[in-house]
Structure 1
Amino acid sequence: MQRYFISPDQVQGEQFVIRGDDVHHIRRVMRFRPGDQLIACDGEGTDYLGELTEEIGNEVICRILRREPSAGEPGLQVTLAQSLPKGDKWEWVLQKGTELGASSFLPFTSRRTVVKWDRVKAEKRRVRWKRILKEAAEQSHRGRIPTVSPVTDWNGLLEAIARAELALIAYEGGGEPLSAALARKSFSRLLLIVGPEGGWEEEEVRQAREAGAVPVSLGSRILRTETAAVAMLACAMFANGEMGGETL
């Protein structure tokens, strides 16, 4: 069933209102008519099964048939921090990371980051990224839309590491096995850090370790940066019992 995100203030008694671009999608793409059903999520963990009753201007009004907790939100909150990759790799990570259950994304620049970040165009890029997150969250039946932070520099990442409950940095030079790191202690919030296409400089790994990050190994194969990101996230979710398996 088609899903849309709304804000809590769009729920009014026994009905909810859909506004904005989703109205065009409902009318022109899905061609919904009164009596058709859809699901709206308030972004705070509640899903509403609704029946379309009327369209007024740029609004679609639906009668609430049922309320229930969103089933698509994992118990583990994961922030995926990645040195900004080139091309459409970052957008692919945003999409797949949302599907896998990431709660937030932190793009950053490091010494070997290939992308030349244009801060003048930064907000326009973030608008596109947010749209990708919203569409992926709807498709994967998430209860919340993940957030994406502005691109930060290396010092900003070190500050995020210092605040993290547990921070793991994928390091091609070796480290603790990822499975062991995920099983080492109980945690509810996790920061996963992935480097650029050219890999880390040793000084960066040293600084990350001093800030509190644990270097981890993803095995004997060298993964592309975008592959490493989704692999780490999938492993973390599986270890926490969020992928149909038992917790480690």
Structure 2
Amino acid sequence: MVLALQRYFVPVTNWKTDVVYITGDDVHHISRVMRLQDGDQIICNHPEGKAATCEIISLTKDSVQATIIEWLNESVELPIDVTIAQGLPKSDKLDYVLQKGTELGAAAFIPFKAERSVVVWDAKKMEKKLNRYTKIVKEASEQSHRTKIPQIMPVLTVAGLIEEAANYDVLLFAYEEEAKREDHQSFGTILNKLRKDQRILVCIGPEGGFSQGEVNQLKENKFLPVRLGPRILRTETAPLYVLASISYHFEELRWV
């Protein structure tokens, strides 16, 4: 059985013509965890979304040097740019959303403080959390063979989220009450109207959902309420439903 090559994301400053320099925690992973040696091959991802098969030519305590063998012709990113705005959930649910959402192709994540969010972060805790989350999406990107690492934005308020919405083409928010209306707007209906290369922002409420005030605020700012199937989903399940549906619709049905 041929094992897949290990994949590492390398900052743009570490690409020098035909040589790649790997530093930081990845050096430990290459030498101590994977026990790779000179002559072994890895895949290095460039920040622009390109990837190359590389051969290790030098391995020290602080760095790994690898020479580029060939650039790969890969197409693994979603054809639609999807950002998940996740209402801050309890415990480690956001870890799960970030990891699985990355595997499913999310381009970015925006944690936001909703009225019904129980979690409270101070500045120190926020910095620590964001550092942890950055590591989670990097490792998930490597594991799922993505060519880009999703961006994680600082925690926003709903007002900040609405301001950020100006950067997107389509604005949606999951609203369970929408599923009870006969004239509800299904997610499938919206998917049929989307076009390749659009930027989509999908907002998911925390465990208690959105307050009525937030619903009104979002609607007034061009966010469309949408149901995600006939069942009520947990806050950590909803973004995965969104991403899996988009992947199936655009990668398996429309643009295969």
State the TM-score, normalizing by the size of structure 1.
0.94
Provide the residue aligned with 1:246 in structure 2: 254
Q: Quote how far apart the aligned CAs of 1:57 are.
A: 4.3
Q: Quick one: distance in 1 between partners of 2:43 and 2:131?
A: 24
Partner of 2:87: 83
Q: What is aligned with 1:198?
A: 208
Alignment partners' CA distance in 2, 1:199 and 1:166:
21
Q: Any conservation in 2 of the 1:168–1:215 contact (CA below 8 Å)?
A: yes
1:184 maps to 2:193: yes
Structure 1 residues 95 and 140, CA, compared in 2 at 3 Å: closer, same or farther?
same
Matches of 1:10 and 1:41, distance apart in 2 = 11
State the one-letter code of the partner of 1:246: R
* Residues 1:170 and 2:174 are matched in the alignment: yes
One-letter amino acid of the counterpart of residue 202, structure 2: L
Asked if the contact 1:82–1:195 (Cα under 8 Å) also holds between the matched residues in 2, the reply is yes
Superposition pairs for residues 104-123 of structure 1, below 5 Å?
104-123=108-127
Residue type at the aligned position of 1:195: G
SS of aligned partner of 2:237: helix
4+ aligned runs moved over 3 Å, structure 1: none
Q: Secondary structure at the residue paired with 1:212?
A: coil
Q: Equivalents in 1 of 2:124, 2:60: separation in Å? A: 38
Q: Is the 8 A contact 1:161 1:208 kept in 2?
A: no
> Which residue in 2 is equivalent to 1:30?
34
Q: Deviations over 1:64-109 (max 9, x none)?
A: 1111244322221111001011111101000011001101000001
Equivalent of 1:50, from 47, 54, 57? 54
Deviation of 1:238 (Å): 2.2
Deviations 1:12-51 (A, max 9, x none): 1221111111001111000011111110001211111111
- Residue equivalent to 2:6: 2
Q: Does the 8 Å contact 2:80/2:195 carry over to 1? A: no
In structure 2, the residue matched to 1:227 is: 237
Maintained 8 Å contact 2:85/2:110:
yes
| Contact persistence 2:171–2:201 (CA under 8 A) | yes
- Shifted more, 229-238 versus 98-107: the winner is 229-238
CA apart distance, 1:232: 1.2
Of residues 220, 223, 229 in structure 2, which corresponds to 1:210? 220
Q: Quick check: 32-41 or 196-205, which moved more?
A: 196-205
In structure 1, runs of 5+ residues without a counterpart are none
Q: Distance in 1 between matches of 2:60 and 2:72?
A: 27
Decide whether the 8 Å contact of 2:99 with 2:136 is kept in 1.
Answer: yes
SS of 1:234's equivalent in the other structure is helix
Q: In 2, distance between residues paired with 1:64 and 1:185?
A: 38
2:77 counterpart (73, 93, 105): 73
Other structure's SS at 2:132 match? helix
**Conserved? CA contact 1:82–1:196, under 8 Å:** yes
2:142 counterpart of 1:133: no
Unaligned runs of 5+ in 2: 179-183
**Take 1:181 and 1:74, find their aligned partners in 2: how far apart are those partners?**
17
User: What is the distance in 2 between the residues matched to 1:83 and 1:71?
Assistant: 31
What is the total number of aligned residue pairs between the two structures?
Answer: 245
C-alpha distance in 2 between matches for 1:32 and 1:56: 12
